[in-house]
């Protein structure tokens, strides 16, 4: 391959404005772009929605030649290529969905220099003749998207990614940029090493997403809580992550029964059905998606207003990536995690099945960190960011702990009741049965084992079942009780329990009031935010522009966001441009789109303004 050093005469800022219609780079984008344009390797770590793609797309436009982009999912490739083409950028993808003829045409375009970016699947890299064919082309840059797929430690491990070091071996002179949104320290070092990068520079953008509120709610009585949350978000889009396929289906069904447009999504569905659900959601016809982790990678929908975790994920990375799908437009969005010990047990159960000892220990450590987050008594965002090695100085003010710091009370007596019931049962009660005993409820489990004869039967009748569950959860968190998941999830005393029962140790509990206040506070907070979100500077105009956008998108057979993002429409409402040059000042309007859609939008805006 012939290599020539060409100065990149096209300034990144110019390209950013011309093609994407943006005025400024985000922190680190510019630095990363300069580094790549200098011909050096890089690992770029930015949260979902942080703007990773521009870090290779702008260099691709600045350089003469071709940029190869390795991307793990066909849907992801398709979306990115579609979005690039909509900005007038010559991009294409090569994967198993192309026919023989389409592929021949593609290679012809490549040889003619008609393409700037080529997206390929990792499998394709290793297919017959691919690398030889690429070597005939002026390859200038290689980007490896979702690079965490290379690591065994990540949760999206893809064996083909492990072999991608072949790219650096085959094209040692071509800079490689690896990008990901999910990488802890172990995965991060795997990426550089396994790809064979040469002293790559690490770019880590802040993982802080201050517009996302963080909250953890009790994982008991979830349905009632959900009803209230969904009522607040009436008409807005959100995702509910569930653990199992079946629970996705059931939950979606229940939500539809509330009169809300909801659907489920999981890997067990036919591809066609999945893509229909995804399209409906992206286009705003379906409001709530109940999904497993299969949903989300590569979904570019900026106005997701809430993400709920119906079950606790097994790691902070997964959690963070999933909540990251909310509020990508930078406007307030709400995230809620339902947390209960049952979820921890389920996760422990999965981990127990893992054969590899090192991997099991790793998963266990990850689960511990996730639990720490769910049980946090201090600012949750601080904890979250510390996981990604950031140390913010101040508390965030936008998490439930900051808004309603825990109120404590002396719970020694409650603890003694619960612990002595466990002692008297000789460690044979699961949480639910312990609550029955404390409340004096003659449930089937109680009757069957004559637990009503225990001395502690009914000692805690004045406390509600829900509150008992919250108390017991705290006894577990404080290390007074453990759940023996190998013995039918029965509660056992720990040595610390004896200190409470016999040695006068006191126990502090977070009062139920705190939980309740958090539930209520969130409700008020969100109503305010929802108003803000739904209030463009000119609501009438905004609706008209949205309708126009739908019409144009429909004519093109493309999703609406491909025409313009909500953010761009909102900016139009503020600026009310009357000329083409004013239209080009709108954030998110590049030259190509201005040419294609400018007149239609200018006319619509002029019409609305004149009618007033």
Q: Under the rule (CB under 6 A), what is the footprint of ligand ADP?
A: 22, 24-26, 29, 46, 48-54, 300, 565
Q: Name the residue number minimizing CB distance to ligand ADP.
A: 51
322-361 binders of Zn ion (CB under 5 A): none
For residue 207, the minimal CB distance to ligand ADP (Å) is 11
Comparison of 392 and 458: residue with beta carbon closer to Zn ion? 392
Query: Which range, of 146-154, 374-382, 443-451, 520-528, touches Zn ion by CB under 5 A?
Result: 374-382
Please, what is the minimum distance in Å from the beta carbon of residue 229 to Zn ion? 20
Concatenate the DSSP letters of all residues of 130-188 into one string.
HHHHHHTS-EEEEEETTGGGG-TTSSS--HHHHTTHHHHHH-TTS-EEEEES---HHHH
399 binds, among Zn ion, ligand ADP, none (CB under 5 to 8 A by kind): Zn ion
Q: Which does 379 bind (CB under 5 to 8 A by kind): ligand ADP, Zn ion, none?
A: Zn ion
39: left (phi over 0), alpha (psi -120 to 50) or beta: left
Whose Cβ is closer to ligand ADP: residue 26's or residue 165's? Answer: 26
Structure-block tokens of residue 36:
């790549």
First to last CA, the chain: 63
Contacted by 381, from ligand ADP, Zn ion, none: CB < 5 to 8 Å by type: Zn ion
Q: Shortest approach of ligand ADP to residue 216 CB, angstroms?
A: 25
State how far the alpha carbon of 529 is from the alpha carbons of 299, 402, 519, in Å. Answer: 24, 17, 16
Task: Select the binding partner of residue 26 from ligand ADP, Zn ion, none (C-beta < 5 to 8 A, by kind).
Answer: ligand ADP
Q: Residues 194, 199, 201, 207: what is their CA dihedral angle, to the nearest 10 degrees?
A: 30
By C-beta, is 45 or 379 nearer to Zn ion? 379
DSSP assigned state of 399: B
| Partner from Zn ion, ligand ADP, none contacting 52, C-beta within 5 to 8 A by type | ligand ADP
**DSSP 8-state code for residue 237:** E
Joined together, the tokens standing for residue 164 give 């991608």
DSSP state of 604: H
Determine the Cα–Cα distance for residues 238 and 247; give it in Å rounded to an integer.
17
Structure tokens at 336: 């809620």
CB of 402 to Zn ion, least distance (A): 3
Read out DSSP for 185-208?
A: HHHHHHHHHHTT-SSPEEEE----
Between the alpha carbon of residue 56 and those of residues 94, 116, 308, the distances in Å are 18, 11, 32
> By CB under 5 A, which span of 9-17, 377-385, 460-468, 510-518 interacts with Zn ion?
377-385
Binding partner selected for residue 51 from Zn ion, ligand ADP, none, CB under the kind-specific 5 to 8 Å limit: ligand ADP
- CB 398, min distance to Zn ion, A: 6
CB-wise, 64 or 395, nearer to Zn ion? 395
In the shown chain, the binding pattern of residues 431 to 470 toward Zn ion, with x for contact by CB under 5 A and - for none, equals ----------------------------------------
d(CA 442, CA 465): 13
Give the nearest distance from C-beta 55 to ligand ADP in angstroms. 8
Work out how close the CB of 335 gets to Zn ion at its nearest, in angstroms, rounded to a whole number: 12
CB of 558 to ligand ADP, least distance (A): 15
To Zn ion, the closest distance from the beta carbon of 361 in angstroms equals 30
Within residues 392-421, the interface with Zn ion by CB under 5 A covers: 395-396, 399, 402
By CB under 5 A, which span of 81-89, 293-301, 378-386, 428-436 interacts with Zn ion? 378-386
280 makes contact, choosing from ligand ADP, Zn ion, none, with CB < 5 to 8 Å by partner type, with none
CB atoms within 10 A of CB 318: 20
Q: Is 381 in the site for Zn ion (CB under 5 A)?
A: yes
Least CB distance to ligand ADP at residue 597 (A): 16
Choose from ligand ADP, Zn ion, none: what does 218 bind? Cβ within 5-8 Å by kind. none
Least Å from the CB of residue 38 to ligand ADP: 20
In the bound complex, what is the minimum distance in angstroms from residue 53's beta carbon to ligand ADP?
Answer: 3
CA-wise closest residue to 414 among 353, 368, 481: 481
- Binder of residue 265, out of ligand ADP, Zn ion, none (CB less than 5 to 8 A by kind): none
Element (H, E) at 67: strand 66-70
Query: Residue 49 binds what, of ligand ADP, Zn ion, none (CB under 5 to 8 Å, by partner type)?
Result: ligand ADP
Range in contact with Zn ion (rule: CB under 5 A) among 60-68, 183-191, 344-352, 380-388: 380-388
- b/e burial code for range 188-219 (CB count within 10 A of at least 16 → b): bebbbebbbbeebbebbbbbebebbbbbbbbb
CB neighbour list of residue 310: distance below 8 Å, 6 or more residues apart: 222, 240, 241, 242, 243, 247, 251, 290, 338
53 binds, among Zn ion, ligand ADP, none (CB under 5 to 8 A by kind): ligand ADP
- Rounded distance between C-alpha atoms, residue 276 and residue 458, angstroms: 53
210 closest CA partner among 45, 392, 387: 392
Supply the minimum distance, in Å, between the C-beta of residue 454 and ligand ADP. 55
Q: Which of residues 207 and 373 has its CB atom nearest to ligand ADP in the complex?
A: 207
- When CB distances are held under 5 to 8 angstroms depending on the partner's kind, the choice from Zn ion, ligand ADP, none that residue 366 binds is none
By three-state DSSP, how is residue 510 classified?
Answer: strand
| CB hemisphere CA count around 192 (13 angstroms) | 18
- The nearer residue to Zn ion, 263 or 379, going by C-beta atoms, is 379
493 binding Zn ion? (CB under 5 A): no
Q: Is 406 helix (H, G, I), strand (E, B) or coil?
A: coil
Burial, 78: exposed, middle or buried (Cβ in 10 Å; 0-12, 13-18, 19+)?
middle
Q: Which two tokens stand for residue 531?
A: 């108003």
48 interacts with, out of Zn ion, ligand ADP, none, CB within 5 to 8 A per kind: ligand ADP
Least distance (Å) from Zn ion to the CB of residue 408? 18
Nearer Cβ to ligand ADP (300/436): 300
Check residue 525 for interaction with Zn ion (CB under 5 A).
no
Q: Residue 322's CB: how many other CB atoms inside 10 A?
A: 22
Residues that bind Zn ion (CB under 5 A): 379, 381, 395-396, 399, 402
């Amino acid at each position: 391959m012939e290599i020539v050093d060409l100065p990149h005469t096209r300034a990144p800022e110019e390209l950013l404005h011309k093609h994407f219609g943006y005025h400024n780079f985000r922190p680190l984008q510019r630095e990363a772009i300069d580094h790549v344009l200098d011909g050096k390797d890089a690992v770029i770590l930015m949260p979902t929605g942080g703007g990773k793609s521009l870090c290779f797309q702008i260099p691709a436009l600045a350089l003469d030649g071709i940029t190869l982009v390795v991307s793990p999912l066909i849907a992801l490739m398709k979306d990115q290529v579609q979005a690039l083409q909509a900005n007038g950028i010559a991009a294409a993808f090569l994967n198993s969905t192309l026919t023989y003829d389409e592929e021949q045409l593609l290679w012809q375009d490549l040889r003619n220099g008609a393409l700037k970016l080529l997206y390929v699947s990792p499998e394709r890299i290793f297919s017959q003749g691919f690398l030889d064919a690429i070597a005939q082309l002026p390859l200038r840059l290689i980007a490896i998207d979702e690079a965490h797929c290379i690591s065994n430690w990540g949760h999206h491990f893809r064996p083909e990614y492990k072999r991608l070091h072949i790219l650096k071996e085959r094209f040692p002179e071509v800079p490689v940029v690896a990008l990901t949104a999910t990488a802890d320290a172990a995965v991060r070092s795997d990426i550089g090493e396994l790809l064979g990068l040469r002293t790559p520079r690490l770019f880590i953008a802040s993982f802080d997403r201050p517009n996302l509120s963080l909250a953890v709610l009790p994982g008991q009585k979830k349905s009632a809580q959900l009803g209230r949350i969904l009522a607040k978000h009436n008409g807005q889009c959100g995702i509910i992550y569930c653990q199992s396929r079946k629970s996705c289906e059931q939950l979606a069904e229940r939500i539809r029964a509330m009169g809300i447009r909801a659907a489920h999504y999981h890997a067990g569905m036919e591809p066609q059905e999945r893509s229909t659900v995804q399209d409906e959601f992206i286009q705003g016809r379906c409001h709530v998606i109940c999904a497993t982790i299969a949903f989300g990678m590569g979904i570019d929908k900026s106005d997701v207003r809430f993400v709920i975790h119906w079950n606790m994920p097994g790691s902070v990375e997964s959690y963070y990536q999933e909540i990251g799908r909310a509020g990508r437009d930078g406007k307030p969005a709400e995230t809620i995690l339902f947390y209960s010990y049952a979820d921890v047990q389920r996760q422990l159960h999965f981990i127990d099945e893992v054969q590899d000892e090192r991997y099991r220990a790793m998963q266990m450590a990850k689960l511990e960190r996730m639990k720490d987050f769910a049980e946090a008594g201090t600012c949750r965002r601080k904890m979250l960011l510390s996981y990604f090695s950031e140390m913010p100085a101040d508390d965030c003010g936008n998490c439930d702990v900051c808004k309603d710091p825990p109120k404590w009370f002396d719970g020694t007596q409650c603890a003694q009741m619960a612990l002595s019931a466990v002692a008297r049962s000789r460690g044979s009660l699961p949480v639910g049965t312990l609550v029955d005993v404390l409340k004096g409820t003659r449930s089937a489990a109680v009757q069957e084992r004559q637990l009503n004869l225990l001395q502690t039967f009914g000692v805690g009748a004045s406390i509600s079942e829900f509150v008992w569950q919250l108390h017991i959860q705290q006894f577990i968190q404080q290390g007074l009780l453990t759940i023996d998941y190998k013995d039918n999830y029965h509660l056992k005393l720990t040595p610390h329990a004896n200190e409470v029962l016999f040695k006068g140790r006191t126990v502090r509990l977070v009062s139920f009031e705190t939980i309740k206040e958090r539930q209520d506070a969130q409700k008020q907070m969100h109503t305010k935010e929802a108003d803000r979100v739904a209030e463009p500077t000119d609501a009438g105009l905004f609706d008209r522009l949205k309708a126009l956008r739908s019409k144009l998108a429909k004519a093109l057979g493309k999703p609406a966001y491909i025409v313009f993002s909500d953010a761009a429409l909102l900016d139009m409402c503020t600026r009310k441009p009357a000329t083409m040059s004013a239209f080009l000042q709108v954030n998110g309007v590049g030259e190509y789109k201005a040419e294609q859609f400018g007149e239609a939008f200018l006319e619509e805006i002029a019409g609305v303004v004149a009618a007033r």
